[in-house]
A and B are shown apart, each in its own frame.
Chain A
Amino acid sequence: MSLRLELLPLLLAVTLASFACRAGGFCLMRFVNVTPRIQAALKAAPLAVMVGIIVPAAVRGGLAEWLGLAVAAIVMRLARRDLVAALSGVATVALSRLMLA
């Protein structure tokens, strides 16, 4: 349990950067009129962000990762529970890596 003093300025800087992102979008929207188009854009953003997280993993992944993606998607369709589906995907990846290694 130690804290290096020379690390504190860096921790403060990354904290401020992180909070600037959290507060920035919310702040800016005060000056933007929310038209139906903007509303549609904001509604589409979460799915698109998820695509941005999934695609690089799929591109870099091998058979294990592809199986994990498929299992997570199928379990979600069947069970409709986020955590169950996600953990099934993770378990699939872990097992496949073990078997395929």
Chain B
Amino acid sequence: MPRYPWREHNKTCRRVTADPDVNFSAPGLRRGYIAAQPLALGVFIYGVTFGLLAVNAGLSILEAMLMSATVYSGSAQTATVSGLAAGAGIGASVATILMLNARYLLYGAALRPWLGQASAAQAYSSLYLLGDSNWVLAMKAHANGEADAGFIFGSGIAMFIPWVGGTLLGSLANEWVADPKVLGLDFLLVAFCTAMGMGLVKSRHDFQPVGVAVVIALIVDRFAPGGWTIVAAGLAGALSAFARKEDPT
């Protein structure tokens, strides 16, 4: 057994693959788009929530939609919009986004071995469309044997459309929904994470990183609440898996 078996695997893949586009194809894109549909409703509802919040915070409908199409991150946009309402400038807004979206560094790094097989244009457009839920979906699909990186792009599109569409509806509906909290919509991201997290725990190997992440999250949340908790918990869980002596496979 070679020390790094996947290197051999990658070499074989590259040799067999004459057409570089075979790792990023239309059928793969379609599979991703279809697989992500069950998540689209949730993203749509989340988009509606953001639209409601954004108009409440003083953004116009067009500004809210532009933000959804460019920043494309629920938690970061929600925080930025609240900051704007409180008079935040460019510096504070950028810092907020960097903090809340730092988890995407982990997402992108995790996708490298797979998405790195696609062209730069394909890879970076997939990354532009990347969201929490379609990343989890794609990682799950890849673990179950999905090899086509078009899956990531397709599932991204399936999230992008309802996100921007939901923002539009939410900004328009602002007048007749008083408080999103009454509907429990502020709990949506947390509920999704709980559900998907339960689905991701497969063996006792997963317990240690989760335990470490819980402890670190509790500590960081106590002393430096805000976007850092997510980053710290993610890094702590990853480091704990990295430091473990036993074979992770």
Residues of A whose CB lies within 8 Å of any CB of B are 1-4, 7, 9-11, 13-15, 17-30, 32, 34-57, 59, 65, 68-69, 72-73, 75-77, 80-83, 85-94, 97-98
Residues of A with C-beta under 8 A to B52: none
Residues of A with C-beta under 8 A to B98: 17, 20-21
Which of A9, A26, A55, A97 lies in contact with B127, CB distance below 8 A?
A26
Q: Mark B110-145, 1 if CB is under 8 A from A, else 0.
A: 111101100000011001101001011001000000
Q: Beyond A15-B70, A34-B6, is A45–B238 a contact (Cβ under 8 Å)?
A: yes
Most chain B beta carbons < 10 A, residue from A9, A32, A55: A55
Interface of B is mostly: helix
Interface status of B13 (Cβ within 8 A of chain A)? no
Question: Is A75 within 8 A of B195, CB to CB?
Answer: yes
Interface size of B as a range: 35 or more
Interface status of B101 (Cβ within 8 A of chain A)? yes
Residues of B whose CB lies within 8 Å of any CB of A are 4, 6, 38-39, 41-42, 60-63, 66-67, 70-73, 75-76, 80, 84, 89-90, 93-94, 97-98, 101-113, 115-116, 123-124, 127-128, 130, 133, 135-136, 139, 181-185, 187-201, 206, 209-210, 212-214, 217-218, 221-222, 225, 229-244, 247-249
Question: Is B106 within 8 A of A42, CB to CB?
Answer: yes
* Complex-state Cα separation, A43 to B202, whole angstroms: 12
